[in-house]
Amino acid sequence: MITLYDYELSGNCYKLRLLMSFLGIDHKTVPIDFYPGREHKSEWFLKLNPLGQLPVINDDGLILRDAQAILVYLASKYDPSGTWYPRDSPAQLGEISQWLTFADGITATSSAARLHDALFYDFDVDAARAGAHRLFRILDEHLWFGEQQGRNWICSSSHPTIADIACFPYLILSEEGGIPRQDYPAIRRWCDRVKRIKGFTVMSGVFPAGPAKAAA
Amino acid sequence: MATRCNDRELLNDWHIVADRAALAGDTPFPTRLLGVDLAIDCRDLRKLEVVRTDTGATLKRAERYGFVWTCLDTPWRDIIYIPEANEADRHLVSGGSIAVKVSGLRAVENFLDMGHFPFIHAGWLGEEPHTEVAPYKVEITDKGEVLATECKFYQPVASPTAKHGFVVDYIYKVIRPYTVALYKSNPIQKERLDVITLFVQPVDEENCIAHPYLCYLKEGMEAATVRSFMQLIFGQDKPILENQVPKRLPLDPRAETPIRADAVSVYYRRWLRDRAVTYGAIPAQS
């Protein structure tokens, strides 16, 4: 069985909880006292991940770190439909990789602002917010043009991919870092679509979609 | 930018300004209390200092319950006493200090509210259709605290170790304007109570830091699990609190319309008015 080394308030851990919920993957969770205990920097945890970061999984002895890498692994291994990570489509794999890296950029900016505001991390919050707005603008335009072409998701596939999962958490949590999403209507509509994927689950700070139909 | 506080009730009281364990030795830790910028200097680990950044004055300080406390003026009374903190069979830990962009009075009031459980803490502290808040008692104690008793609520996962839903008994107590405690029956030793005291640091009128102090019976429970559960729940409250408008707590009885379930809030707001607490509030029009 998969063991997820987890922290509830981590958007990166949430990415894996989301995918495992979408795919119905049974797993066990080991809560890590990330804050204030800094257990991810403890001696035992550094043996698991020398970078001292969450999440980490252990799947039958295979230990993997990095949310994006784990998304690739889990979708490749456990998605029989092959839609979350379409291994037979070179173009889509390229697109997905491009947006997985983009998601890391969202973490470096939007998540950093949130850690600064809520948990007192000593980051340059103005730079983090400005960086997040730059990325949000790019994604909003990308999604808007996609909508004009009848595309609902980040990559050119009729089904959501792990790129959608990787970008979602620190977008939806951005206001906790003082980054409003008023100016990004296409992002807001896309967030609503993600919330309506069958198997969607929340984390603290994320609320389910309302009962109304998805915005057109 | 931040307005200064003129409430004697707050200026002459102790407030938490840091989790002691979070302070590293090398650089002073910056924080703010009641609109006043402070630096906590812990370079000398035996002699921690709390200094006002504006005047350079060193303030009175204390360490209790794992937190650093200070008072901007002369304290009129001691730091609150938590009898459960002397019981050896309890975990005595911080739940993790978290900054929230709202008045601390709003954070206290949210902590007192059961009505939001089935919606904001769905699947944990409540669930539809069990939305009714049964009538409960509220009184002002002879120590001048707001006390709500006979609070009952159906909770699917009331504690980190709860295996099934049950009706949980609560007692709430507002001890100081920015300090509130919750007593909840322990799932194993049913005659004893787990205690969460929420110390709220009024950073300024529209920002606060919640410092939850957990006194949970150890039996069947790891400290890290208690902490993780506290953050799960508080993380659900945080965006709701940060979206409250206005960010300060209105004390005018006509400003926001209470229902019967809000009886403890009504008492709390009146109690704040009676004590002339205005910092973090929108005072009632006289």
Question: How close A68 gets to chain B, by Cα (Å)?
Answer: 23
Helix-, strand-, coil-residue percentages of chain A, each rounded to 5: 55, 10, 40
> Which pLDDT belongs to residue A117?
97
Q: In the prediction, which pLDDT does B237 show?
A: 97
**Structural domains of chain B, count:** 2
Are B52 and B103 found together in one domain?
A: no
Quick one: pLDDT at residue B76?
A: 96
B224 and A120 in contact by Cβ < 8 A?
A: no
Q: What is the pLDDT of residues B206-254, one digit of tens each?
A: 999 999 999 999 998 888 889 999 999 999 999 999 999 999 999 998 8
For A138, B38, B99, the CA distances from A143, given in Å and listed in that order, are 9, 45, 33
B236/A35 Cβ within 8 A: no
Q: Is the dihedral of CA A62, A65, A69, A75 positive or negative?
A: positive
Question: CB distance A31–B224 less than 8 Å?
Answer: yes
Q: What is the CATH number of the domain that holds B197?
A: 3.90.380.10
Q: Provide CB contacts within 8 A for B43, sequence distance 6+.
A: B25, B26, B28
**ipTM of the complex, rounded to two decimals:** 0.92
Residues 6+ apart with CB under 8 A from B117: B125, B126, B153, B155
Instruction: Tell me: do B55 and B143 sit in the same domain.
Output: no
The tokens for B202 are 């009024």
B111 and B241 Cβ atoms separated by less than 8 Å = no
Do B56 and B181 sit in the same domain of this protein?
no
**Same domain assignment for residues B15 and B145:** no
**Domains of chain A by residue range:** 2-78, 90-195
C-alpha dihedral (A152, A154, A155, A156), degrees to nearest 10:
30
Contact B21, B4 (CB under 8 A): no
Domain boundary among B38, B71, B104: B71
Look at residue B79 and tell me if it is in a domain: no
> Under an 8 A CB cutoff, do B99 and A117 touch?
yes
Domain limits for position B28: 8-71
Superfamily of domain A2-78: Glutaredoxin (3.40.30.10)
Strand partners, B8: none
Distance to chain B for A17, nearest Cα, Å:
14
Q: Tell me the pLDDT tens digit for each residue of B243-261.
A: 999 999 999 988 888 888 9
Mutation target among B16, B32, B208, B228 for the A interface, most CBs of A within 10 A: B228
Is there a domain that residue B233 lies in?
yes
- Assigned domain for B127 exists: yes
Say yes or no: B157 and B38 in one domain: no
Question: Do A117 and B232 lie within an 8 Å CB cutoff?
Answer: no
In DSSP notation, A150-214 reads T--SSSSSSS--HHHHHHHHHHHTGGGGT---TT-HHHHHHHHHHHTSTT----TT--PPPSSPP
Predicted model pTM: 0.95
Is the Cβ pair A117, B101 closer than 8 Å? yes
Q: Determine the residue among B19, B231, B240 to mutate to test chain A binding: the one whose Cβ has the most chain A Cβ atoms within 10 Å.
A: B231
- The answer to whether residue B177 sits within a structural domain is yes
Contact A169, A14 (CB under 8 A): yes
Give the model's pLDDT for residue A63. 98
A181 to chain B, any CB pair closer than 8 A? The answer is no
| Residue of A33, A118, A176 with shortest CB distance to B227 | A33
Q: DSSP secondary-structure letter at B126?
A: B
Alpha helices, DSSP H only, in chain B? 8-11, 104-111, 117-120, 223-242, 263-274
Residues B73 and B51: their CA atoms lie apart, in Å, by 13
Name the nearest CA neighbour of A16 among A58, A61, A60: A58
CATH topology of domain A90-195: Glutathione S-transferase Yfyf (Class Pi); Chain A, domain 2 (1.20.1050)
SS3 content of chain B, % helix, strand, coil (to 5): 20, 35, 45
- A97 pLDDT tier (thresholds 50, 70, 90): very high
User: Do residues B112 and B265 lie in contact, with contact meaning Cβ atoms separated by under 8 Å?
Assistant: yes
CA B285 to chain centre: 27
Residue B14 included in any domain: yes
Both B160 and B255 in one domain: the answer is yes
The alpha carbon of residue A193 and the mean position of all alpha carbons in its chain are separated, in whole angstroms, by 15
Q: Does residue B76 belong to any structural domain of this protein? A: no
Query: What distance in Å separates residue B283's CA from the closest CA in chain A?
Result: 27
Assess whether B92 and B58 both reside in one domain: no
Both B29 and B128 in one domain: the answer is no
Q: Do the domain assignments include residue B139?
A: yes
Q: Are B53 and B118 in the same domain?
A: no
> Looking at the partner chain, which of A9, A117, A120 has a beta carbon nearest the beta carbon of B235?
A9
Is residue B31 domain-resident?
A: yes
CB-based contact B236 A39, cutoff 8 Å:
no
Encode chain B (286 residues) as per-residue pLDDT tens digits. Answer: 568 899 999 999 999 999 999 887 778 999 999 999 999 998 876 778 999 999 999 999 999 999 999 999 999 999 999 999 999 999 999 999 999 999 999 999 999 999 999 999 999 999 999 999 999 999 999 999 999 999 999 999 988 878 888 899 999 999 999 999 999 988 888 889 999 999 999 999 999 999 999 999 999 888 888 999 999 999 999 999 999 999 999 999 888 888 889 999 999 999 999 999 999 999 988 6
Q: Are A175 and B239 in contact (CB under 8 A)?
A: yes
The answer to whether domain A2-78 and domain A90-195 are alike in fold is: no
Looking at beta carbons, which residues of chain B come within 8 Å of A204? 231-236, 238
pLDDT digit string (tens) for A45-85? 999 999 999 999 999 999 999 999 999 999 999 999 999 99
